[in-house]
Chains A and B, each alone.
Chain A
Amino acid sequence: MGTLTPEAIARFMHGQVQCWNAHDKAGLLAHYRAVAPNGLDIDYVGRATQADGWFVIEEMYDKHNAQFRLEVVTTIVNGNEVAVHHRNCVVGTDLVIESIETYRFDAGRLWVRYYLKPPAPGPIDLGQFRGFAAAN
């Protein structure tokens, strides 16, 4: 698998958000498998503990899909890389976790890096989130 086309990248970026918000786990994972047949790496920037990307994405869905609705603020595609700004809105509250995420597609692998901004203090335990729980 070579470099993805801009259309394939756009399909993935749009599709993953659409599936997340539609509570479509199979669709979400299918989008990832389509662009990352050779491997998926997910890195929470600044955190000491990292894990296998497939485990992270499944865990994220299973633990948090019902809690969060994604809003896309901006998506920038440059070459085989993408940077996005998302608002991860906690359903039923005014709380938002802002994230800036980068995606690099190369030779059938996908490298994802999450920059997460904790929300203002509120009735939510940040320790339940992998990206905050492993903070160093």
Chain B
Amino acid sequence: MDKQIIEDFAHAQVRAWNAGDKAGFLAAYRKVAPKGLLIEYVGRGPAADGWPVLEGMWAQQSAKIEIEEVALVINGNEAACHNRNKVRGTAMAIETIELYRFDDGQLSVRYFVRQP
């Protein structure tokens, strides 16, 4: 996948999340994952169908969390992001490193989550 498309996706999902734009957030994923989405929380079991995971994430966290992009590295058809998920109204943040692999219309995501 073209590097610019990956970069656009990475920024678009964060921008939509922070704007409270659920449709835009899901659209960013649908654009790069027309053939399927898998999401894995590393250390908590195997990857699962990503669409209900995203829906649940949005329902539970979108009002509470604002994302700050710390680093984005794109190599080949993969991206690695270091994000700081700031809990609104507090000084608390949850650090994540997120891996994205784009492969023939499928997107596999792996989240490393550091609890505060």
Contact = CB atoms under 8 A, between A and B. Distances in A.
29 contacts: A44-B75, A45-B75, A45-B80, A46-B75, A46-B76, A46-B77, A46-B78, A47-B76, A73-B71, A73-B82, A74-B70, A76-B95, A76-B97, A78-B42, A78-B113, A79-B42, A81-B42, A81-B43, A81-B112, A83-B80, A85-B82, A98-B71, A100-B81, A102-B80, A102-B97, A115-B80, A116-B75, A117-B73, A136-B76
Nearest to B42: A78
> Interface on chain A toward B: helix, strand, loop, or mixed SS?
strand
> Interface on chain B toward A: helix, strand, loop, or mixed SS?
strand
Interface of B: 41-44, 70-73, 75-82, 95-97, 99, 112-114
A112 to B, nearest CB: 13
Contacts, number: 74
A73 B70 contact: yes
B77 A85 contact: no
